[in-house]
Amino acid sequence: MANWRPRVRVWLPSPVLAAELRINPTTTPRAYQNLERDGVITTIPGGGTYVAENVPRFLKSEKLRRLQPYAKQIAVEGAQLRLTDEDILKIVQEELAKLTERVGDHR
């Protein structure tokens, strides 16, 4: 994938790729789905599959994996303080709103 460039068509039909890699034929469609979900490729119905223009630095799955310990910490702290789920979510949403405001101020 290191040689993939934006807007270049991905021309490896799943069965062909599976045969070349000697893997289960159900693995390649799943891999394409994951790549599309993570923003690496884009499929245009009837038009083919292409490398996305703005491939994220980290795939969404990696971003979520990195954030998970912090989410757990907030959930544990909130539970220990006997806060409701709504209260915990509200405070996180308020902090996100503050970040959005700060970003808007610096534009």
pLDDT per position as a tens digit, 53-67: 776 667 778 889 989
Which structure tokens are listed for 76? Answer: 């544990």
Which structure tokens are listed for 22? Answer: 């000697």
| Region 23-38 average pLDDT | 87
Cα–Cα distance for residue pair 50/36, rounded to 1 Å = 10
pTM score of the predicted model: 0.47
Q: Are 9 and 50 in contact (CB under 8 A)?
A: yes
Burial of 49 (0-12, 13-18, 19+ CB in 10 A): middle
Q: Are 38 and 65 in contact (CB under 8 A)?
A: no
Cα–Cα distance for residue pair 51/39, rounded to 1 Å = 9
Which structure tokens are listed for 41? Answer: 């490729």
- pLDDT, tens only, 12-26: 777 888 888 899 989
